[in-house]
């Protein structure tokens, strides 16, 4: 999934679970669960490692993820501590962050092992269906989070 999707779910986790001993493992597991749902992301049609276009799209996605999360916290979950939310958001995105050195800079250790782990459950689906499944999943989680 995109960094934005992982960030939205991380925001809901931070807003609803104030105990980091629970929120951190839930955020990590959420990444695995979300990536196991067929989805599109910035690397779905990437053309190999160290592709500048994919890198730029990925960094743009990360910036958008922070903006969207900040807006969600401000308007839907205003009592959530921003520092805590940022920590849980980064945790929810962590597996993707740990693969950046391998994918974009050619640094194998230890990033290649995280990459191989992710490939065990990462299910890609091209546009438009990969976007539709992602938006539907994340909206459902957001609505449930806002209601409980």
- Rounded Cα distance between 46 and 86, Å, is 28
Tell me how many degrees the CA angle 124-90-66 measures, rounded to the nearest 5: 85
What value does the mean pLDDT take over residues 96-112? 92
Q: Cβ atoms within 10 A of the Cβ of 125, count? A: 17
What value does the mean pLDDT take over residues 30-39? 98
Count structural domains, the chain: 1
Q: Is residue 116 part of a domain?
A: no
pLDDT for the residue 12: 99
Q: Is residue 68 part of a domain?
A: yes
What value does the mean pLDDT take over residues 41-62? 84
Q: How long, in residues, is the chain?
A: 148
Domain carrying residue 128: 3-94+124-143
Strand partners, 39: 124
Q: Is residue 106 part of a domain?
A: no
Q: Is residue 100 part of a domain?
A: no
Q: Is residue 119 part of a domain?
A: no
> Does residue 94 surpass a pLDDT of 70?
yes
> Of 64, 62, 2, which Cα lies nearest the Cα of 31?
2
> Does residue 30 surpass a pLDDT of 90?
yes
């Amino acid at each position: 999934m995109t960094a934005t999707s992982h960030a939205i779910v991380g925001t809901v986790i931070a807003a609803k679970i104030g105990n980091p001993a629970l929120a951190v493992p839930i955020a990590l597991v959420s990444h695995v669960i979300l990536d196991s749902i067929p989805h599109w992301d910035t690397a779905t049609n990437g053309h190999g490692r160290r592709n500048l276009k994919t890198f730029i799209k990925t960094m743009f996605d990360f910036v958008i993820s922070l903006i969207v999360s900040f807006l969600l916290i401000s308007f839907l979950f205003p009592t959530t501590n921003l520092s805590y939310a940022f920590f849980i958001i980064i945790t929810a995105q962590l597996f993707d962050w740990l693969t950046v050195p391998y994918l974009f800079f050619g640094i194998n250790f230890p990033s290649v092992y995280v990459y191989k782990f992710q490939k065990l459950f990462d299910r890609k689906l091209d546009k438009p269906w990969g976007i539709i499944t992602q938006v539907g999943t994340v909206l459902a989680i957001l609505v449930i989070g806002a209601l409980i």
